A = this chain, B = another copy of it.
Amino acid sequence: MAQQDLRVGLIGYGFMGRTHSNAFRSVNNFFDLDRRPVLAAVCARNEERANAFAAQWGYESVETDWRALIARDDIDLIDIASPNDTHHDIAIAAAEAGKMVMCEKPLGRNAAESGAMVDAVEKAGVANMVWYNYRRVPAVTLAKQLIDEGKLGRIFHYRAKFLQDWTISADLPQGGEGLWRLDVDVAGSGVTGDLLAHCIDTAMWLNGGIDSVSGLTETFVKERMHNLTGQVQKVGIDDASLFLAKFANGSLATFEATRYARGHKALYTLEINGEHASIFWDLHDLHRLEYFDHRDEGQTRGWRSVHITDGDHPYMDHWWVPGLQIGYEHTFIHQAADFIEGLSSGTPAAPTFRDALATDLVTDAVLRSAQSGQWENATG
């Protein structure tokens, strides 16, 4: 296939800079697309590290000022993988410059920032997407298909958790390189924006809108050394965030995220119970979907552990042979493929900036409810 170049300017070289680079670099090996991402430039303030990153991944050039990157004529797409407090300004500037924009989640640090970003991309009419990558886990995509086909029937319950345990030690500092997620000024919030946002994005994709929430947050370790100031400072983020929710479709939900659940590294789990069938999935075994169908014959009815590696499972015809599992980074490759297909087809792939704003409205409501002790409206 004759392919058109899609010249990418990446901002940020951290964990997400790596997953995005891998996605752009590999997507054409596995998907037949009419555009081929080119790693045109990586941008970061630390030039030495940026150069090393460029060498590692094969970026053609390096920038140290994101405004310079946006100003370049040879860049088609700005991909934002820098800390949360940079998303708003970069995205708006990129949109105004007519660039396509992809942005790591959460979109902004709060719904106000996100709303402005939505306005900017929609006004500019540029392609845009937020990297809520878990929608593209094949098992989760299959869950979406099964729900849309009506396999579950009326939905009664949804529950999601995102459990980690990496900040239990009180000796862990906050802030700076690699730890900006613990610095409320940079991150905006704690696990609410970092982890619950993933759970909420998937939940609303699978089960529709959330009407209202009752939230509870806690900061277990109240003070930590700050890496940038060298001072022991008050911790501003939430360490744990839980909420009850009522969905528009009448179903009830519990959501929980924490970095204090010993034994869980990145245990994102979701379960949905319908009239006829139920689904369970977890990120620690992301290549499996647990499915229960009450319409199965009684004596042999049970939860089915579906190994999502067959050719008729979403995305899996692009990979290996049945039985051979894929991993985490593949979700980004799928998202890159869908984004490019959206450019070709004219139907933008989700989640767009606008889709992601809905998630931020819920996280804002959770934080508001945790303060007010009241149920809060989550629809903005």
User: Residues of A at under 8 Å CB distance from B?
Assistant: 15, 18-19, 21-22, 25-26, 28-29, 56-58, 142, 145-146, 151, 156-157, 159, 161, 163-166, 168, 214, 216, 218, 220, 240, 242-244, 246, 250, 252, 254, 256, 258, 260-267, 273-278, 283-289, 291-294, 296, 298-307, 309-310, 312-313, 319-330, 373-375
A252 to B258, CA, bound (A): 10
Q: How far is the CB of A120 from chain B (nearest CB, A)?
A: 31
18 A-B contacts (beta carbon < 8 Å): A15-B321, A21-B29, A22-B26, A29-B58, A156-B260, A156-B261, A157-B258, A159-B256, A216-B246, A254-B256, A262-B278, A264-B323, A286-B325, A289-B300, A299-B306, A304-B304, A320-B329, A326-B329
A89 to B122, CA, bound (A): 62
Instruction: Determine if A266 and B323 form an interchain contact, defined as CB atoms under 8 angstroms apart.
Output: yes
Question: What are the residues of chain B within 8 A of A306 when measuring CB–CB?
Answer: 299-302
A267 to B216, CA, bound (A): 25
Instruction: Determine if A326 and B323 form an interchain contact, defined as CB atoms under 8 angstroms apart.
Output: no
A322 to B294, CA, bound (A): 14
Question: What are the residues of chain B within 8 A of A292 when measuring CB–CB?
Answer: 262-263
Known A-B contacts A262-B275, A328-B325; the reply to A304 vs B307 at CB < 8 A is: no
A309 to B166, CA, bound (A): 14
A165 to B166, CA, bound (A): 36
Instruction: Determine if B323 and A265 form an interchain contact, defined as CB atoms under 8 angstroms apart.
Output: yes
A165 to B151, CA, bound (A): 17
Q: A259 — nearest CB in chain B belongs to which residue?
A: B156
Instruction: Determine if B322 and A328 form an interchain contact, defined as CB atoms under 8 angstroms apart.
Output: no
Instruction: Determine if A244 and B242 form an interchain contact, defined as CB atoms under 8 angstroms apart.
Output: yes
Question: What are the residues of chain B within 8 A of A289 when measuring CB–CB?
Answer: 300, 302
Given contacts A289-B300, A320-B329, 17 further A-B contacts (CB under 8 A): A15-B320, A19-B320, A156-B262, A159-B256, A240-B252, A242-B254, A258-B273, A262-B278, A265-B309, A283-B324, A284-B307, A289-B302, A300-B304, A301-B306, A304-B305, A324-B328, A374-B374
A264 to B324, CA, bound (A): 11
Known A-B contacts A324-B266, A327-B324; the reply to A293 vs B300 at CB < 8 A is: yes
Question: What are the residues of chain B within 8 A of A258 when measuring CB–CB?
Answer: 156-157, 273
